[in-house]
Amino acid sequence: MKKVLFATTALVATAGVAAADVTFGGYGRFGIMYNDNDSTTGDSSTDVTSRFRLQIDATAESDAGVVFGARTRIQQNNTDNGNDPAGSDLNGVRFFARTGGFEVGVGNIFGALESMPGQYPVDMGLTGLGYDYTAFNDRGDQYSSSGSGAAGANGLEVLYSAGDLAVHVSASDDNDRVAGYVAYTWSGWTFAVGGQDSDSAADTEWTASAGGSFGIADVTLAYADNGTGGDRVVLAARFDVGAATDVEVYVADNSDSTDSANDTGYGVDFNHDLGGGTSLRGGVVKQIDGDTVADMGVRFNF
């Protein structure tokens, strides 16, 4: 990640500001993606997939030690399984104020359930391959990389951490959501429980997770009651198979899939570190809806 530090004497005319910091970072990825589309047309396709993401973080610190900041992104995709819109506009901005372990965020908030430990236990392949391994199944507020997110729905969140304890509460006018989680780490294992009140019966009601090292693998078990979307249970693991290579696997079971014959999804992937922030990635997944998707390509972080 590249950092540009501007001296406040040159750029800030107002006295009393201790420091200003603007950071640019992100990643690029490109490769190929296969989708058999069994749940829709039944036709298979193999296409090029790519993404470029540039993230801009800006902060300033007051004399009292309070950090004020904002985050925005420029992102462009060509196609990621048909789910991500193309475009390269700035997304909604998240603003925040932070001191010690306490932080308040507004705008395009992270969202409590989205940020809860155990919701993203693995990162399948190059593109995520559908994210069936996310127990809460995107049924809550979350940071949007290509839109305004909760910034367009009056989003607000409060985060607090102290030692092994973490608490996160978020709210927005989107379905009048109020969500939160509490997480605690003990002996290398992180346990978390979260809940949400919402006007939508399709939103997540509560979720829980536990994750840590178990022998040769990092293992996570997560559960979510997703309202009319049904219950989802996810078991995921990550194994090191060499000094520079790891393998990830998962099984996700959903009790209310649109196709009851295909209510269990599973997948496997690999990630090989090429050094210098670059990696070769790929995976194959049988999704809960019955589709088989696979990808392979290169990612580089900057």
Asked if 218 contacts 211 with a C-beta cutoff of 8 angstroms, the reply is yes
Q: How high is the pLDDT of residue 89?
A: 72
| Angstrom distance (rounded) from CA 173 to CA 35 | 36
Asked if 111 contacts 143 with a C-beta cutoff of 8 angstroms, the reply is yes
Under DSSP, is residue 243 helix (H, G, I), strand (E, B) or coil? coil
Q: How high is the pLDDT of residue 13?
A: 38
Q: How high is the pLDDT of residue 42?
A: 66
Which one-letter amino acid corresponds to residue 25?
G
Q: How high is the pLDDT of residue 258?
A: 57
Tokens of 229: 């979307």
Which one-letter amino acid corresponds to residue 13?
A
Residues paired with residue 48 on neighbouring β-strands, in sequence order: 32
Q: Average pLDDT by consecutive 10-residue portion of the chain (302 residues)?
A: 39 48 97 83 87 97 97 84 54 97 98 98 97 97 91 94 98 97 97 98 98 94 96 97 96 77 87 98 96 97 96
Q: How high is the pLDDT of residue 100?
A: 95
Q: In the chain, where are the structural domains located?
A: 2-301
| Angstrom distance (rounded) from CA 180 to CA 157 | 9
Tell the CATH topology of 2-301: Porin (2.40.160)
Tokens of 80: 């990621």
pLDDT tens digits for range 16-72: 445 689 999 999 999 999 999 755 666 889 999 999 999 999 999 999 999 999 999
**What's the N-to-C CA distance of the chain in angstroms?**
5
Asked if 104 contacts 86 with a C-beta cutoff of 8 angstroms, the reply is no
Rg of the Cα atoms in the chain: 20
| Angstrom distance (rounded) from CA 204 to CA 196 | 6
Asked if 252 contacts 132 with a C-beta cutoff of 8 angstroms, the reply is yes
Q: Whole-model pTM?
A: 0.87
